[in-house]
Amino acid sequence: MRNWFFWVKLKRRPPPPDAPRCERCSATGLKRKIATYPVHLTDDLAGKRLDIYRVELDKCRRCGHLMPTPEGKAKIKRCTKTGIKFFRNQLR
């Protein structure tokens, strides 16, 4: 006698069209993660890097690419602005 789960047909539905996708591989399987996000500065602060802690990111389950969520992008923008101001005050 065969197991019953060999006879169950799985219904795989396509993801909704507005589902978030990975920027690299276009996969829709994303997982939320909180991690440190590095920001490399340019112009007169070239060569300096800001490490922004506890940023909310989406991690692709297929390729492992990390992308900031809208909330994470807002935090990166705030912290980058403060970091640039700090470095410019130190370089005077």
Question: Domain with 75 in it: what CATH number?
Answer: 3.10.20
Quote the CA–CA distance of 21 and 28 in Å, as a whole number. 5
Q: What is the pLDDT along the chain (92 residues), one digit of tens a residue?
A: 556 565 566 677 788 888 889 999 999 999 999 999 999 999 888 999 999 999 999 999 999 999 999 999 999 999 999 999 998 898 77
pLDDT at 2: 58
CB atoms inside a 10 Å sphere around CB 39: 16
44 lies in a domain? yes
pLDDT at 10: 65
81 lies in a domain? yes
When divided into structural domains, the chain yields a total of 1
Distances (CA, A) of 89 to 46, 53, 75, 77, 85: 16, 22, 21, 19, 6
pLDDT at 22: 93
Quote the CA–CA distance of 65 and 59 in Å, as a whole number. 6
Question: Where do the DSSP E strands lie in the chain?
Answer: 30-40, 49-60, 66-68
65 lies in a domain? yes
Residue 45 belongs to domain spanning: 25-90
Quote the CA–CA distance of 40 and 59 in Å, as a whole number. 20
75 lies in a domain? yes
Quote the CA–CA distance of 32 and 29 in Å, as a whole number. 10
